[in-house]
Amino acid sequence: MINPTQTPWSVEAVSDAVRIVTRIPSKDGMSRRPGGVKVILARLNPSQISEAETHANARLMAAAPDLFEACKELVEKGSWSRNDPQTVRARAAIAKAEGRT
């Protein structure tokens, strides 16, 4: 079972990179910033690919927790055949996210 950061992930462009960020409540409850303390989950600045591709990769990473949960829900509650190619791919993606492959 995976346990990623449960707060929403978003993309933030800075001068030299793109970051995946979230905000978590401060442990002492004293954060003056709306939404809590900013946490940088990833920083992307690959010089080998274009800026547009870097932003696209960042958006995909930021959407990963939502995509994972939606995929799990579809597989668990859907009315698919267990051998349907789409179901097999969805199960493989869930296993990859959970570190079972």
Q: Is residue 77 classed exposed, middle or buried when 0-12, 13-18 and 19+ CB atoms within 10 A define those classes?
A: exposed
Place of tokens 């905000």: 23
Residue 95 has pLDDT above 80, yes or no: yes
State the pLDDT at residue 31.
55
Percentage of the chain exceeding pLDDT 70: 88
State the pLDDT at residue 30.
56
Taking the CA atoms of residue 61, residue 66, residue 69 and residue 72 in that order, the dihedral angle to the nearest 10 degrees is -70
Residue 16 has pLDDT above 70, yes or no: yes
Residue 20 has pLDDT above 60, yes or no: yes
Name residues whose C-beta falls within 8 Å of residue 88's C-beta, 6 or more positions apart in sequence: none
Measure the CA–CA gap between 81 and 21, rounded to whole angstroms.
37
Mean pLDDT of 16-40: 76
Residue 24 has pLDDT above 70, yes or no: yes
